[in-house]
Amino acid sequence: MKKVLLVLSFAVMAVFSASAQSTVDYGPNADECKKYISFYSDYYKQKNYESALPNWRKAYNLCPVTSRYSILTHGTTLMKYLINKNKLNPAYKEQLVDSLMTIYKQRIEYWPKYRTASLNNYALDLYNFYQDNPKALYAGLNEAVNQLGAQTELKTFPIYMKVACDLYNDGGIEIDEVMSVYENSMAYLGQINTEGNEIKFKTVEKTKGEVDAIFGASGVANCDNLVAIYGPKVAADPTNVELAKSVASKLSKVEGGLDTDLFINTMKVWYDNEPSAQSAYMLYKLNSSRGDNESAQMYLENAINSGELDFDTMAEYCFELAVFASKNGNNAKAIEAANKAIEVADVMDGKAYMLMGTIWGSIVCPGNEIEQRAKYWVATDYMNKAKAADPTLEADCNNYVSQYRVYYPNVADAFMYGVEEGQSYTVSCAGMRAVTKVRTQK
């Protein structure tokens, strides 16, 4: 028939359309259909729902479901009015809720233009009226959200997550299904376009946080469960970057997750395929906690050299590298990193100078008495620089200088080795070199 109609002239189609209008739009009882639409609509507009209901029922039964969308939208309002009115009559209320859901399904099936709005309203009313039937509630929400995807109303996502978690804790669904709810919800939220809309961006981020919080508080996403579910998946697909990122992200949010082999393995896959300062820094932390200092230092240096950091963050990372190297006995690397922190930005200057002072003050230098003690002059120089750069460190720096001063040579001893107060002096010790000035006991 469609192929035949395509060859008809526009004029013929227009005539056909006009002649068929009454049956196509309003069915075989067109006059009655229109009459009852008019009758109930007047009451409906006045919000006199009680009087509107008998005529609406007539219109609903007489008119084709495709005749007017408003018959269905008004019907959902009228059904909710009746449900609220009869909330103390459970049996009748249940029938009314079934009628409400039938109307929603008709809206979704026969009016695709408004399908998104209908599905969203359907999902919210499922939650309003099906809380005493959690399995049916979950099934309906699951269907609606996965059909809507990123078009789901934001307030539905936390509801969907909570219903799934509660049903799992009651033994109604398996854990992998709860994980799917979480993953799908976060994926749909991530697909929402918020470009150029700061308010929408903040609202979406807030919703993500709510979903995360519900998922985390439920106890579903504990370390053992995550490893049991995702361990075999990662083992079966070890180069899947998106899977690795997803699993690493989940494990990072649960207690004990960072200590698992699964986490470090997925982080390595993530970093190897998408190197970034963030993932490099995370791998530094992981390897450091496991005592793999060589790998830890490598990843921290990779983060510093990534080109992604602002100057202040780079300075902080350089200082962290200096502290890490110092703790592991690599003083030359520590001094190098501390100096780089000072070069990059001034946010860590005081702490960097203070660290270098403590390094010089703690090393052992060979040689004669002056050569052994000269390190304290260098340490004092750095403490003076530290308190000048950061006055909050003054008390600590002065305390260190007081300790170092005890080891300054007296004037006579200095004279015996051909040096005197204030004279320039070059110190070479433990692979480090510095120019300082001679200091003696006062």
DSSP string, 23-86: HHHH-TTHHHHHHHHHHHHHHHHTT-HHHHHHHHHHHHHHS-TTT-HHHHHHHHHHHHHHHHHT
Q: What element of type H or E holds 263? A: helix 261-273
- Contact at 8 Å (CB) between 286 and 303? no
Question: Is 436 strand, coil or helix?
Answer: strand
Indicate whether 248 pLDDT > 70. Answer: yes
Measured between alpha carbons, how far is 12 from 270 in angstroms, rounded to an integer?
A: 64
pTM of the shown model = 0.61
Lowest mean pLDDT of 40-44, 98-102, 118-122, 428-432, name the range: 428-432
Q: What is the pLDDT of residue 4?
A: 30
Indicate whether 290 pLDDT > 60. Answer: yes
Q: What is the pLDDT of residue 88?
A: 95
Lowest mean pLDDT of 54-58, 216-220, 378-382, name the range: 216-220
- Of the candidates 261, 283, 262, the one whose C-alpha atom is nearest the C-alpha of residue 272 is 283
CA 383 to chain CA centroid, nearest Å: 42
DSSP class of residue 410 equals: P
* Mean of pLDDT values over 268-296: 92
Vertex 372, ends 368 and 373: CA angle to 5°?
A: 120
Beta bridge partner(s), residue 427? 434
Indicate whether 19 pLDDT > 60. Answer: no
Indicate whether 57 pLDDT > 50. Answer: yes
* Mean of pLDDT values over 110-130: 97
pLDDT band at 370 (very low <50, low <70, confident <90, very high): very high
* Mean of pLDDT values over 308-316: 96
Q: What element of type H or E holds 122? A: helix 115-129
Backbone angles phi, psi at 432, to 5 degrees: -120, 155
Q: What is the pLDDT of residues 133-170, one digit of tens each?
A: 999 999 999 999 999 999 999 999 999 999 999 999 99
Q: What is the pLDDT of residue 45?
A: 97
Q: Look over the chain and give the mean of its residue pLDDT values, rounded to a whole number.
A: 91
Integer CA distances (angstroms), 417 to 361, 409, 439, in order? 21, 10, 13
